[in-house]
A and B are shown apart, each in its own frame.
Chain A
């Protein structure tokens, strides 16, 4: 009895891994690459068994979310080809039948749907947690109702036009004012020269012609 049981155990232990190995190929699954040191630098965590367990759990979560509640478990995620790079290949088996694989496209869609959650779980980004073959959907750039440049343009043009109007109005007012004072000084104009400009030059009062009237009043 014991021997039968031992043989059966040995057979199970040997067979299960081989079966799972046979299922886990890159053609049926996806290769994953993590660049933890690039993403986190000094705060990088060590990649170990627990982290791998966490990754399997995250993938199971992604499959559950996509399939709408089907009971995926950590044991449904099979991993192989682990390297020191921190890269490995994984496949997903169906919870109902562990020897059948979930099609690639379903796995891809599940990952795309929960990509952000998977990235955040590992403190990585689309570039540092690389699912080879699954391209990240690009974030749409921010769309503005009014382009910001038009607002800046409007502000500058408003200020400048106000400045022009102010300057033109002040020129016009200055002209009116100077015209008024020029009209008042018209009397003081000789042959086109303003009296002020020749005032200090012995021209307005010609010293050459002595005003004799004052002295010779009899």
Chain B
């Protein structure tokens, strides 16, 4: 397919092959070694989603059978897009705005949309880091504060909200978030959360203060420590009772789920979001590489590492969840047995776990009214295994509860939250890169200002706006942002990226570039996926995602002690003005793409008279003589 959209002046905007060959470092940062680059990319891709989104998807979409759509879409969608971003960054040697502006000035909107997405996602992602830090700080005590309920004022019993739910729920919803009952009740800022938020942004700033010069050192720890901790937890988990039942539950295949289209949709979305594509960070990181870096190999290696990490962490998480479910089941059964023993005055040891059902049936047939009055809760392993195992609920409720049941709980708690913090921090490096470098490219602030100022201003600005998330209603705002700001815009940007490179830049020119950089033309797999398969898959996912988002009712779940379904979260409809907020979050990045194109078109038409030769694109070639001759029009 030789479809190519007209694109005049491309050669003037991008460095030619000979220029790339003679390129010296200049003022563009460089990686100290290949390991830093790989660790940074792996850290950016491997994030909290691998820990708390993938295991849930795996378990809810047919266990082992979910591997099929996941791995298939990884190969057809993830790897090609990753290779594309790496190659584009390495070839054009700019951040996301610079790259799209070089390909065609009308596409600057793609870069701006990437920057906005990076900014918004970075803002709420670091709030989750603040929550992780809060739990980390609270792990340095024995017993852990979420292992027992606080006592009420007249010392007769536990606080009612805690007694009706559980100590972990209470610690999360009341002592951490101090959550309100609906999104309109802002409730004011929570001072302890503000402190943790400031801590999270300051730690981030110290790590990325000078760009990759500092993050390149930080990733040696933040990218490797999670794997160490996961292995420790795996070993610990496998020695606990009931862990294997969790792993079995996770991977038990249910092939019927493959017929369900939402399985494929979720797999595709997970692959895309898991690879942190369309944020612009990967393009930036790749642009600091030497010209002849083997980006094809890098893309494949990083994709494989990301996929394997997802599966590995799912195993670890579910071994611990299996342990927790078994403990809860045993507790439930022990309570029921004690109830029966007490009511019927039977000696201890008459009813055990093995003969419980039998004895229960006998007693039920002989004394049905007594049994009825006892109100025994039925104990079901499956319910315990499938409750609350996604998102913040997994990390802050389910896993913390499992930790309290292990011996030496503070140690496991510290390890777990350090791991979560490292995972999130390495992802934040990519987000900051995706914000700061476009900001520099846009020339809003003078270029002579040091990088520290850019990173500092970004961190400060994000921290101030993120104060929304540390109010009482903060968690509801975060869920809103997570649902709308990070899904549809990214799909749109990714789709535009691949269309831009293949059809505006030209797949032939791109193949030539890869031949120049890597040594051989990309083979038929890359051609097929770049030209047809990946854009098609992205389009299908985008359309379906859009339809499901637009057609679903605008509801959210709240923690309301007064509600009849407490302690289950109650479902409430959003207020009307939320649609405006959703439009701003999801619409503005998407509309930035055509909007900026239109703006550039109009400004070009009306300012044609006093247009000077644009010399910006040549600045990065440091030893090229700057042409300051004004061509008269």
Contacts and interface: CB of A to CB of B under 8 A. Distances in A.
A and B bind: yes
B623 A198 contact: yes
B213 to A, nearest CB: 10
B342 interface: yes
B211 to A, nearest CB: 12
Contacts of B452: 167-168, 171
Contacts of B348: 35-38, 85-86
B346 A84 contact: yes
B196 A193 contact: no
Nearest to A198: B623
B136 A152 contact: yes
Interface in A70-85: 83-85
A149 interface: yes
B155 interface: yes
Contacts, number: 91
Contacts of B133: 156
Q: Contact size class for A?
A: 35 or more
A137 interface: yes
Contacts of B150: 141
Interface string B129-156: 0000110111011000000101100011
A37 B349 contact: yes
Interface in A167-193: 167-168, 171, 175, 191-193
A92 B331 CA distance: 36
Interface in A138-154: 138, 140-141, 144, 148-153
B450 interface: yes
Contact of B151 (A140, A157, A197): A140
Interface stretch (A48-56, A106-114, A158-166): A158-166
A157 B198 CA distance: 9
B217 to A, nearest CB: 11
Contact of B347 (A84, A137, A150, A152): A84
A85 B347 CA distance: 4
A193 B623 contact: yes
A85 B210 contact: no
Contacts of B334: 38
A160 B347 CA distance: 61
A25 interface: no
B623 A38 contact: no
Contacts of A85: 341-342, 345-348
A139 to B, nearest CB: 8
B463 to A, nearest CB: 14
B518 interface: no
A135 B158 CA distance: 13
Contacts of A148: 137-138, 140-141
B252 interface: no
B345 A84 contact: yes
A138 B136 CA distance: 28
Contacts of A37: 348-349
A189 to B, nearest CB: 13
A43 to B, nearest CB: 14
Contacts of B195: 153
17 contacts: A36-B348, A37-B349, A83-B345, A84-B346, A85-B346, A85-B348, A87-B342, A138-B151, A140-B155, A150-B137, A153-B199, A156-B199, A160-B203, A167-B452, A197-B623, A198-B623, A201-B623
- 8 nearest interchain CB pairs? A149-B137, A83-B345, A152-B137, A37-B348, A84-B347, A85-B345, A148-B141, A149-B138
